[in-house]
Structure 1
């Protein structure tokens, strides 16, 4: 973990205490008049935060001891101290065998707080009315003397809930109509334990309408420096009857097990914490679960401490919107585009998000944290995110990423393994920070499926084999399927029956093939067969050809550049041996051309 730089806090205290040294040392010096009769004294103890990790918090201590004598004191002095907060012992440190030079001596001690003790201290702080007394209890040991020094006590207080107490006079409006008039809000802590801290929010509201106002469910989230310490929902609907006044209550519980993580963030943030309490109505719609913020029960508070120095803690409220009479940002359009690059292809998506709130409103500017992912058959093509501020009106978000040749090849393998079928999925999400709450803004996802059938022209095709104008054999019941593809190649497993029409035996030596896609040669080779068919007999032949998968990315670029269109050309030939001679025969009837079209990346 990193080390906190600078002095976060110091506590200094002047202690005067007599130290007794060995008779052989200082006693002898006194008898000769070299050493004055003044004893060494501890002049100050200063503490500052040391190394901070997830498990523990370091405290570095400097003890200043003055030796007024003219000679040094041998290693007979020991200094120790304990640090407690509200009687919860947080740390202890000591050093021994210290030698003192004449004059001023600085002794350095290092100890640490076990962060697992933070929940116990927090419970004591809450139960003590958000008040903590920090106590530093030092002691000095020398030859023939052990003496405790006066404990140094410093008290600091926080006031995290004061901003929730108001005679607000707010109103909750939707489209200019008052839904609820807020008369009073309040918040209070319950009795905290090591494991949890109860926290209740209340709001007294009046419904001025002739019909009841009902929330199907209320939810809450409490975070401290983005560490979520409490979240949940009410179990029952909340209803405010027509023309009546009622109190909305939210009973939250802080998970004290999260407080050690918060403690680390508090110290690393210069002992500053942003407490964010968000209360919202949970609405289930056709689009899913939505949050309707209730800012009259929500609050943002920033509090700062100066723990080691015992300085005054401060608390301030961060202003937020008074009501939820707002229109959340919404997505206007989505456009996608592909382009070829030197290293492969680039995929980009442009999303237009509209913020309908005027510039002079509380939501004239809205922070947005968005992410986007595009995948083909679970092969991720693009995964991108952006953080921006939405001004009033239309705002454009752009997500983009380079798609490597290796990624395209991995997609092709999945396409073949899935029967030349690809599922395109796009998914994204955004979070709008409205000041008093974070509201999810759904980005439109999409699921499309496209298919190809590149081997269709071959299957079930019959073809005669002629030598010098005479039919010598017939290929029938032919079939071609894809084998198990690798990053290097894609097998085409070819099989079928060959019937020898003549009385003499005939041998099929080789099977040749050539596959081009938009003038990109994917395959141009021949494979060995070596099957002999006796006269007037039928035999099964099997062989395997291969596509060169290193050419797939080049074909893919051409496919996109031509508007997702590919001209496919496939040709075959066989090499047969008949009556001692070899003949190459083009299989024109089995060769074919086709146009492959997809619509995977058009506009949403």
Structure 2
């Protein structure tokens, strides 16, 4: 754009140069001897836009010429000139009967640009790498003189798409969570013709979510000062896979036949143009086709020119919102809870989803496909899903499921194998079908850990063994640990040292144990030992007891019913043979009670 104006600004200078040559070459005046050989000089040139219409653009040039001769120069000389841009002739002009009075002369010259030539020049400019060579060819004619003057050539360059090349690093966030990250944008021209100019622009975006983002169709519109020069759609869905980076490509075509209309708007707007590349999702509704803006892929640029003064064009990007041009659904609240049922336990999650869009908007009704999963140490307790339609305002979703006794026992096995430690994981996701796009709506997850220590009271406990009021042995350095559990039972490995305090041998025949949790009997049995300890000697004993895992689900129900609280009671005894008789000895110092509390679903 600045190229055309800069060139036209040169036309007046060429005209003035033509005037000098014409005045110097007026044969009639010279032949009389009335004129000196001094040539007139151009003192100043001032260019202004003239009348601007849909068909042509007028230029008014005011020229001040000094005639140093004592007599005037009659109007017998004509000046003509052609202006071409990359071999496209955009203006032709001529003046005849130019006269100069002695001294200072002011004159006004008028010419015009044929607006129909703007598209052809534009195509040559684009195909030449946004370069234009402007050529002005003047000539003078008189009764005895006809002469072409040297052409004036100037090359100008523009960089219209520079504002579209960026590594923005901007993110599109919804409810504080990144939905898309725009890594870079770019644009390039194709091969232009007089009728159209291909424009390719793209945005490289990253989807950091665990679900894909899909647009059913993406449309675009390119306008300059509200003159639409290109519009269309991608035609096919655009999908950005989960946790991946992809490029959204748009192949636009500028209608060069609209450029003459833009040219008029540019001049009438004080040589300022707002170039707007608008990208939007296309929504087909009962009311027809609607456009939902996607500002993160759109660009706005303002450029200004100073054509007649020969100034260069300036271009600046206009900052704008880079999010979505709409509000997708958002999560209001999440509540999770255990409950007990006649058949066992149930886990439930209540999620409130809010659709902030009014009923009469394109997003007044939004489809939602949601799922939820709850796991304890990778043992899935609940996996549920739902499909619904969100109207304006809040909608409550509930995910729930009964947890079988077998599942609870599998969790317990993992809990024991993990050192009585459990990681609770709740995770979910939803896809909102907006009609024109499918976007992930992350459901808040939860990761927390709870621990128990049901064997802690046994370890490192000393216990005397008394028979008829007399100490016969001492159990010390005792400890208990879990063995490899199965869904049927949980082994408790018991070991320690027994010191015989008497001179006669003593045999530990069996080891008994009872474990209750909230009055649920998890174990009540005894296990064979059969180790004889000589008098005044110490021997190590090892044996294994078992929890009945079939009772674990009932205990877990009681644990939840009491607000994740369990009263644990563990008691031990031994059966010893001494001097030919068997005695049952309660191991009171090794027995213990404890309170076990978890906070799987309370405050963090």
Gaps of 5+ in 2: 1-159, 173-179, 189-196, 205-233, 251-277, 295-324
Q: Structure 1 residues 301 and 507 mapped into 2: Cα distance closer, same or farther (>3 Å)?
A: same
Superposed, 1:353-372 pairs within 5 Å as 353-372=353-372
Separation of aligned partners in 1, 2:181 and 2:165: 21
**What's the counterpart of residue 185 of structure 2?**
237
**What's the counterpart of residue 571 of structure 2?**
571
Separation of aligned partners in 2, 1:428 and 1:485: 31
Q: How far 1:277 sits from its partner (Å)?
A: 3.8
SS in 2 for 1:525: strand
Q: Structure 1 residues 508 and 344 mapped into 2: Cα distance closer, same or farther (>3 Å)?
A: same
1:322 to 289, 292, 306: 292
The answer to whether the 8 A contact 1:374-1:380 is kept is yes
The answer to whether the 8 A contact 1:369-1:430 is kept is yes
Matched, 1:249 2:201: yes
Matched, 1:348 2:348: yes
Q: How far 1:469 sits from its partner (Å)?
A: 1.1
**RMSD, aligned CA:** 3.9
Q: Which has the larger radius of gyration?
A: 2
Could you tell which deviates more after superposition, 551-560 or 388-397? 388-397
Q: How far 1:359 sits from its partner (Å)?
A: 1.8
- Superposed CA deviations along residues 282-331 of structure 1, whole A, max 9, x for unmatched, are 999xxx999999994544789xxxxxxxxxxxxx9973443242112111
The answer to whether the 8 A contact 2:279-2:293 is kept is yes
**What's the counterpart of residue 490 of structure 1?**
490
Q: Structure 1 residues 451 and 279 mapped into 2: Cα distance closer, same or farther (>3 Å)?
A: same
Q: How far 1:217 sits from its partner (Å)?
A: 8.8
Q: How far 1:411 sits from its partner (Å)?
A: 0.2
The answer to whether the 8 A contact 1:483-1:491 is kept is yes
**What's the counterpart of residue 475 of structure 1?**
475
**What's the counterpart of residue 407 of structure 1?**
407
The answer to whether the 8 A contact 2:481-2:492 is kept is yes
Could you tell which deviates more after superposition, 326-335 or 530-539? 326-335
SS in 1 for 2:292: coil
The answer to whether the 8 A contact 1:577-1:583 is kept is yes
Separation of aligned partners in 2, 1:386 and 1:297: 30
Q: How far 1:596 sits from its partner (Å)?
A: 0.6
Q: Structure 1 residues 234 and 594 mapped into 2: Cα distance closer, same or farther (>3 Å)?
A: closer
Q: Structure 1 residues 359 and 213 mapped into 2: Cα distance closer, same or farther (>3 Å)?
A: farther
**What's the counterpart of residue 89 of structure 1?**
none
Q: How far 1:355 sits from its partner (Å)?
A: 1.4
Q: How far 1:573 sits from its partner (Å)?
A: 0.4
The answer to whether the 8 A contact 2:201-2:249 is kept is no
SS in 2 for 1:237: strand
Separation of aligned partners in 2, 1:432 and 1:511: 62
- Superposed CA deviations along residues 490-531 of structure 1, whole A, max 9, x for unmatched, are 110100000000111111111000000000000000001110
- Superposed CA deviations along residues 198-232 of structure 1, whole A, max 9, x for unmatched, are xxxxxxxxx9xx9999765999xxxxxxxxxxxx9
Superposed, 1:203-218 pairs within 5 Å as 216=169
Separation of aligned partners in 1, 2:467 and 2:249: 83
SS in 2 for 1:326: coil
- Superposed CA deviations along residues 85-120 of structure 1, whole A, max 9, x for unmatched, are xxxxxxxxxxxxxxxxxxxxxxxxxxxxxxxxxxxx
**What's the counterpart of residue 398 of structure 2?**
398
Q: Structure 1 residues 298 and 278 mapped into 2: Cα distance closer, same or farther (>3 Å)?
A: farther
Superposed, 1:388-467 pairs within 5 Å as 388-467=388-467
Separation of aligned partners in 2, 1:539 and 1:581: 20
Matched, 1:560 2:512: no
Separation of aligned partners in 1, 2:446 and 2:235: 34
The answer to whether the 8 A contact 2:203-2:247 is kept is no
Separation of aligned partners in 1, 2:235 and 2:420: 51
Q: Structure 1 residues 289 and 494 mapped into 2: Cα distance closer, same or farther (>3 Å)?
A: farther
Superposed, 1:368-379 pairs within 5 Å as 368-379=368-379
The answer to whether the 8 A contact 1:495-1:540 is kept is yes
**What's the counterpart of residue 513 of structure 1?**
513
How many matched pairs?
342
Separation of aligned partners in 1, 2:509 and 2:345: 41
Separation of aligned partners in 1, 2:543 and 2:506: 17
Separation of aligned partners in 1, 2:249 and 2:454: 53
Separation of aligned partners in 1, 2:241 and 2:382: 32
Q: Structure 1 residues 546 and 276 mapped into 2: Cα distance closer, same or farther (>3 Å)?
A: farther
- Superposed CA deviations along residues 366-409 of structure 1, whole A, max 9, x for unmatched, are 11111110000110000011111111122111101110000000
Separation of aligned partners in 2, 1:451 and 1:343: 26
Q: Structure 1 residues 385 and 415 mapped into 2: Cα distance closer, same or farther (>3 Å)?
A: same
The answer to whether the 8 A contact 1:301-1:318 is kept is yes
Matched, 1:585 2:555: no
**What's the counterpart of residue 108 of structure 2?**
none
Superposed, 1:110-259 pairs within 5 Å as 216=169, 236-238=184-186, 249-250=201-202
The answer to whether the 8 A contact 1:279-1:297 is kept is no
Separation of aligned partners in 2, 1:215 and 1:248: 18
**What's the counterpart of residue 4 of structure 1?**
none
SS in 2 for 1:487: coil
The answer to whether the 8 A contact 1:458-1:479 is kept is yes
The answer to whether the 8 A contact 2:451-2:598 is kept is yes
**What's the counterpart of residue 100 of structure 1?**
none
